[in-house]
Structure formats: C-alpha cells, structure tokens
Amino acid sequence: MERGVETSPYCRNSSGCVCLWGVARAADNEKEGSRLSGAKIIRWVWLTLIVLYIFTAPFEGYWVVPGLHGHSWVSLFQRILLIPLPLVTLYWVVRKKDRAVMLPLGLITIWIIWVLLTFLLFSPHTYYFLYYTWEQIAGFLLILSFWYLARFPVFSRIVTISGLLIYYLVTLVVSFWNIKTAHHLGASSEHHSIIPTAFFYGPNHLGAALALIMPFMAFFFVLNRSRWVLAASVLFSLLGLYILYKTGSRGGELAVILEAVGLVVIFPRRWRYYAFAAMGTLFVVLGILLFFVTHLPASDKLPFALVKFRHLAHIFHPSFSSSSRSSQGPGSFQIRLALLKSGFRALWHHPWGLGPRGAERYYAYYVHHKSPYNTYGVIDAHNMWLEIAMDFGWLGLGLYTLFYGLLLTGLYRLRHHSDHTLRYISWAGFTALMGFVVGSLSPSSVMIGFNIMWIVYGLALIALYQNTHLRNSASRYRSNINRYRKLT
C-alpha cells in the first residue's frame, strides 16, 4: 500500500489492489479546501464592504454616484448590508452568547423596530418621511457593522480609529477652506460666509460633530506615548477648538465643557485631586467672565475673546415680554423653553409618539394655529432627546436612553483597562458621549441621522465586545495553566 493513501477498512485484506478509498478521500479534502477558500474570499469581500461603508458614511450626501438619482456610495452599501448584516449579527450573538453586547444590541434593535412600526402606524402623515426613517436604519447598520468588525481585533481597531482620525483631519481642512474662501459644499446652509460647516448642513451640526470627535484626537497619546504623538494631539485639538469657536455653536462649546467634567470623572485617582482643582478654577473664571460681559452695555465693543462669552451668555437672555421693544427678540434659552413646554404637551396627548418627523409637523401646525406656547416660528425641536420623545413616544425615548446609558456605563468600567486601545476608546468615548448629552441640544432635527454619533456608538460596542473576548481568553489561559499544574 502506498504511504500517505488512506484505505477503507473494507479493503485492508484485499490483495494486489489499491482501494479507491484513498482517491475519494483526497478528492473530498480538495473540495473541502476549495470550500474553505471560497468562504474566506466571501468573508473578505463582506469585510471590505463593511469597511467601505464605515469610511464613506461620514461623507453621505457628497459622494454621489452619477446617473443613480442622487444615491451616494453610502446609500448603495446600506442596501447591500440591510438584510444580511442583521441576520449575521443575530446568529453570532446567539452562538457566542455575548452578554456584554446582547442587551445594548437588543435595545437598539427593538428601538429600530419601533421606528419602523411608527412609520406604518401613523401613515399617511409619515409617508413623505421615508428618508427620515431610513436615517435611523442607516445608523443601526453602522452599529451592527462596527460590532461585526469587532470579531477581528487588529483589523477593526486599525479601520475604525484611523478612519475617525482621517475624517477629523479632513473636516479641519474643509473648515479652514470655508473660512478662507467663504465657499461651502452644496448641502450647507451658509452661503458666502466665513462660518465653517465642513460636510454638515449648518455650523451647529459641525460644532456637535467636533465635540464628539475631538476626544479621540486629544487622547491619541494613550495609544502611543511618544512626544511627537502628544504634540500632534495637542496641536490638532487646539485647531479643532478654533474651528468650534468659528462655528459659533454654543451647544458644541457647552459639550466641550461637559467633556472636561467627564475627563475628571475618569482620571486615575492620583491625578483626580489636581483635576478637580483645575476644573473648579476653570468654572470660577468662566462664571466671573460671564457675569462681567452680561453687565456691560450692549453697545460696548469687546476684545476678541470676550465676544464669545457674550454670545454664550445670550443663551440665558431674560424672558421676552410684550413690553419689550419690537427690535428685541427672545433669547435662545426662552425659545428652547417654549419648544420644550410645547413638546411635553404633545407627548402628554400622544404618549406613543407622533411618528417620524412628528415634532416638526407639530410645531409647524401651531405656527399657523393658536397655541398656548409660542415658539416664535421655530419648527425644529433643537433637542435630540425631545425629538425622539415626540416622534416615538415614551417607549422610544426609554429604549434609546437605556441604550445610551449602557454604553456610558460600559465605557466607564473600562477606564483602567490594561489594553491601551480599549482604555483609549473608553476615555475618548466616555467623554464624547458625556458631552453629547448637551451637544445634541444644539443642532436641528436631522440629529438622529447624524452618522458621527452612530460611529461613536459603534466604537463603544467594539470596546465592550473585545473586553469580553479578552476576559474569556484570560480565563481559558488560567484554566489551562491550572490543569497543566495538576497534571505535573
């Protein structure tokens, strides 16, 4: 019998012949190898699609495919991933019993199902807002894409972190171009203005986006402790702060202040005392400056830096009354308070929500009809949380808030992790989401389709998944070591 050829037990006693079993077995091995090779190719094609989707998502609306009626590369990838990715996610969650992400993924999945149900339940009012519902689906797909990539630790970390940092740098370049030339991209609300909007519709959206991304730049030195990386982190963070200043987005600025508070919370204990002292000093200085500028005559010309404090103080403009001069308008705070009161009135009468874009329809109706709350012609909620409540009711708000809270809690628990990448995502992600609680109050009603927000959610899920994976691997390693010791 030839060496290396496997024979059937029924042929071992046959004399003078080589059984065909070995030939058949070799053919089976070759077929199995080709199947594995084919599966590997499919996996890499699948991963490539997901990577392209993540890289192109922040540029939605700008990378349009000619001849496809305004559809972008992102829209095409969304449709490719729409059916298989949720199924793949469900399969792996059940198979791996990944409890770290099972609850947040379950909550956001139920939330997106409720979004789709409200679209159907409140027809025909929602019929024209299919694109708005699709924005929720697009965000959901981004989260699932990040979670699926998390199964490939090195690959996922390189793709997600480098993609976010590249996008940040490109945003800075486009913003400086806006300031230098007063030209904007097609979807911008600004025209012939030096106010930067980068890839976003308005400066408030850019401000919220910068507040979300800047922590990932500021903490980049956690991944690499070299002086050059630290210097680059400081430089690009300061450039981002300058762009944020130029946007005039008070929500973005307040988000950065809240991020500083979040940073104090996650600092190691030996530094926390100094962090609290620095934070207290900062708040005292800010309070004195705000008090100073609010008591200056409106006609006074202020230095460059103090103009921003006056602008920030305008949020708390006194109540607008009928006795005010006609040239005097209501303060930003007063308008938002009216929007909030009117929104809660809508929620009280419609606890299951008004359906997609219901908040805008509600405010627009009462612009032309008698209302107990005057929103001064503003029809955008200017508050992501209020908008979710008005559109999808208490159920939608509860699911979304629980999901958000789970991500914050999970990232907080990883703040002292031994793995540098997970600690980096924890520090940057926790502070970014802390600030976004306020940052999401500034832009208008397109916030729920804000891809950067969903990308940060996805990074949080990557950290939670990989932490579980590392903990399980360490547990198996210790178990094997103990078993080996017992045997020896």
| Range of weakest confidence among 6-20, 25-39, 419-433, 458-472 | 6-20
Q: How far apart are CA 39 and CA 47, in angstroms?
A: 12
| Residue pLDDT, tens place only, 279-307 | 778 778 777 777 776 666 665 565 555 56
State the pLDDT at residue 395.
95
Contact (Cβ atoms closer than 8 angstroms) between residue 465 and residue 143:
no
Mean pLDDT of all residues in 393-418: 93
Every domain of the chain and the residues it spans: 1-6+23-81, 82-268+317-487
Share of the chain above pLDDT 70, in %: 77
* HSE-CB of 379 using CA atoms within 13 angstroms: 11
The residue among 282, 279, 211 whose CA lies nearest residue 251 is 211
| Residue pLDDT, tens place only, 351-377 | 999 988 888 888 888 877 777 777 777
Which of 96-110, 199-213, 324-338 reaches the highest mean pLDDT?
199-213
CA distances from 108 to 94, 101, 229, 445, 450 (A): 16, 11, 36, 20, 16
State the pLDDT at residue 460.
94
DSSP helix/strand/coil, 72: strand
Sign of CA dihedral 32, 37, 40, 42: negative
CB-based burial label for 363 (10 Å; 0-12, 13-18, 19+): buried
Model pTM score = 0.82
State the pLDDT at residue 280.
77
pLDDT tier at 309, thresholds 50, 70, 90: low
Beta carbons within 8 Å of 183's beta carbon, 6+ residues apart: 177, 192
Beta carbons within 8 Å of 158's beta carbon, 6+ residues apart: none
| Residue pLDDT, tens place only, 150-179 | 988 888 889 889 889 999 999 999 999 999
CA Rg, the chain, in Å? 28
Average per-residue pLDDT in the chain?
Answer: 80
pLDDT tier at 200, thresholds 50, 70, 90: confident
Residue 374: how many CB atoms within 10 A of its CB?
Answer: 16
| Alpha-helical runs (H) found in 66-152 | 73-81, 84-96, 99-121, 130-149
pLDDT tier at 324, thresholds 50, 70, 90: very low
DSSP helix/strand/coil, 144: helix
Peptide bond before residue 124 is cis, with ω within 30 degrees of 0: yes
